[in-house]
Chains A and B, each alone.
Chain A
Amino acid sequence: MWFFSDEHRMLQDTVRQFAADELSHCVQQLDEEEDFNEEAFRKLGPLGLLGITVSEADGGAGLGAVAATIAMEEMGAVDASTTLSYLAHAILCVNQIGVNGTPEQKEKYLPKLLTGEWIGGMGMSEPEAGSDALGMKTRAVLSGEEYVLNGTKMWITNGPVGDLFYCYAKTGEDRRAVSTFLIESEMPGFARGKKISKMGMRGSPTGELIFDNCRVPVANRVGTEGKSIGMMMRNLDLERITIAGISLGIARASIDASVQYAKDRKQFGKPIGAFQQIQERITEASAWYEACRCLTYTAAQMWDQGLMAGKDAAMMAAKAKLQSAQMATQVALDAIQIMGGYGYSREFPVERYMRDAKLMEIGAGTNEILRLIIARQMLGTVVDL
């Protein structure tokens, strides 16, 4: 993007190199085996990427949404699964501790999370509370110096491998009485449920978290009791901007693969790129990708410069995520189509791009929920009548 700083461009090079060196060689195998590239993940620590948005005072890189989105796009173009796990760690867990944690919480947890010694995750969704996040049933009841948590979290990225989870639970009868707790995987009453087998993003472990009278010290509550919704929503906005970067990466890789193929593959005596049907798909894909790229990085830049307040930020983030996700899925589908039988085979990466892209329309707010957010901002209370 034209407004990237020198620092942004250096970051872009660094992440691109990292992805080429550490992710590209085994991404296909890990997808087949549903296995996690833990080794590469931990190497993100020394590169300074695990605390990309955390202030330098707290040991982080002190960068913002633009930088995080760059990291997502560059890594996502090679290995969307590891990128998704990285996002769950850096944006959903580490960033939240950096923004909302107490000095003690930061001191206790950030060093381990920033070096890659610990893997982080976030717990919001539940079996009965997906799009309707505030319908969550996990409960935390204060008992002396501890909260006792009961409930089940679902679809948790890094659930099967994480050491610390930034989790939401209800602390009152009110639908909006949501509180936040830092849950260590070794705490009594915490258990990992089943690992979920998925269509795509198979190199990013997804699982359940189970709280069965899980005892959490009061010191591990983040923020005021019952007042977490604002923090939660604001992080969802940052998540949506940065995860759009993964969609951009998948789309870019799909376009690159189909362009290369359209030049190389000959049918009827000429490269298939000579046919207008193929040109149409490639040009539309590229134009849509550029449009989404402008939208996403503009949202990130506005976020970093503090130009968007509250619900405007939510709407802009939702627009960037909604368009980029739909674009990525369609562009990946078209890449398979351009490559025909080869595109459908697992010898080429585009079928994986498509399977990975589909999650972008579901995770971090389904397309439907993003439309609801945008509609509420545009139409006001009419939407909920």
Chain B
Amino acid sequence: MDFQETEIQTELRDLTRKFARKEILPLVEEDEHNEHFRPELIAKLGELGLTGIPVPEDFGGAGMGYQEYICAIEELAAVNTSYAISVAVTGLPQVILNLFGNAEQKAKYIPPLAAGQAIGAFALSEASSGSDAGSLRTVAKKEGNEYILNGTKLWITQGDTASTVMVMARTGGPGTKGVSAFIVEKGTPGFSCGKREKKMGCSISHTMELIFNNCRIPAANLVGNEGDGFKVAMTALDSGRITIAATALGVARGALESAVAHSREREQFGKPIGEFQGVSFLLADMAVQLDAARLLVNRAAWLKDNGLPHSKEAAMAKLFATDMAMKVTTDAVQVLGGSGYTKEFPVERYMREAKVLQIVEGTNQIQRVVIARSLTQKG
């Protein structure tokens, strides 16, 4: 692990930053207000090679690692969390299929996602099965050459625009061993979207209820074997946690940059407020926390790229980085004072966006469970 970013990483960062500032930033406030997601921006990100960073070039990806992936995601999140999450979530089915899919599944589903031509989703949570993922109730019953899905998924990011949805459903008995993973295509009869959640933040990103009512899918859409689903889901979450942690870095950095700029420009009592310790020490703490989080995130990405175990480290990165982002964005609102509380400055949006990062991809309570288990169940 090197503290120096590679040239490729820096280039990727610059490319993404330019795109985010030019193409996303001007639309953000209005689109957040109107809850308007633009798939065409994902297509443009695809043209730049940013929607399939960690999958092999054979499938249209960039063939890079998570250390590169997190650079792009951070830069998107520094402008808007919704698009960072969109890229991360479109990455999930690609990463899963690359690891667990068969040759036909990889060839059919990864390229359009990697190119940004299709949007991906990952459907695990249900109304009564959030943190307790192993208790999910959606069932998949095999009948001839098909599986018939019945059940309802909740909190599914971009479930309405996704062409390819990775769905976890029960094929066996209760508990984690009875779960399998399936690919469900948009437009499959019996698959529909329910209500769209109204949320505190990240409103550009649509959060959907997905309904499966005698939804028939080909048996070939089973990913891995029956009963592999929970393993697939947990592997996806390990990767997903790194991307959410990277999103937290971006949101926090955006907030810190706004706070620093304001503390230089805003004068009270005859001098810039950044000259008061009450403000400058807040900024100092924000910077320390951000960098500490960055090191944890980089470590998790490095472990993953090197094929080493990273479950605990990804949970640590996600827990620390998202708690950090919550604190840093809250303090950024504080530094901007009344201005920070208004919609004229982005920091109140960053604060609302940061909160969701403590909840998704396993609440921070679940991260502690993962970390604590790895400590108490060894040797």
Contact = CB atoms under 8 A, between A and B. Distances in A.
Do A and B bind? yes
Interface of A: 125, 128-132, 135, 154-155, 196-200, 266-269, 272, 275, 277-278, 329, 333, 336-337, 340-341, 343-347, 351, 354-355, 358-359, 361-363, 366-368, 371-372
Given A199-B343, A267-B135, A351-B200, 5 more contacts: A268-B131, A268-B135, A277-B368, A354-B200, A366-B334
B292 interface: no
A336 B341 contact: no
A333 to B, nearest CB: 7
A340 B207 CA distance: 14
| Interface magnitude class on chain B | 35 or more
9 contacts: A131-B269, A196-B344, A198-B342, A199-B333, A199-B341, A269-B132, A333-B326, A336-B359, A346-B200
B341 A132 contact: no
Contacts of A197: 342-344
Nearest to B133: A267
Interface string B185-221: 0000000000001111100000100000000000000
Interface in B327-379: 330, 333-334, 337-338, 340-344, 348, 351-352, 355-356, 358-359, 363-365, 368
State the main secondary structure of chain B at its contact with A: mixed
Nearest to B323: A337
Pick from A337, A341, A366 the residue with the most CB of B within 10 Å: A341
A251 B125 CA distance: 29
A355 B201 CA distance: 11
Interface string B273-284: 100101100000
B130 interface: yes
A198 B343 contact: yes
B132 A268 contact: yes
B154 interface: yes
B341 A345 contact: no
A341 B201 CA distance: 12
A194 to B, nearest CB: 10
Nearest to B348: A199
Contacts of B66: none
Contacts of A371: 278
Contacts of B199: 344-346, 351
Contact of A266 (B128, B267, B334, B351): B128
Q: Kindly list the 6 A-B residue pairs having the minimum CB-CB distance in the complex, ordered from nearest.
A: A351-B200, A199-B348, A267-B132, A132-B268, A346-B198, A197-B343
B33 to A, nearest CB: 9
A363 B135 CA distance: 45
Contacts of B37: none
A135 B359 CA distance: 43
B359 A344 contact: yes
Contacts of B130: 267, 340-341
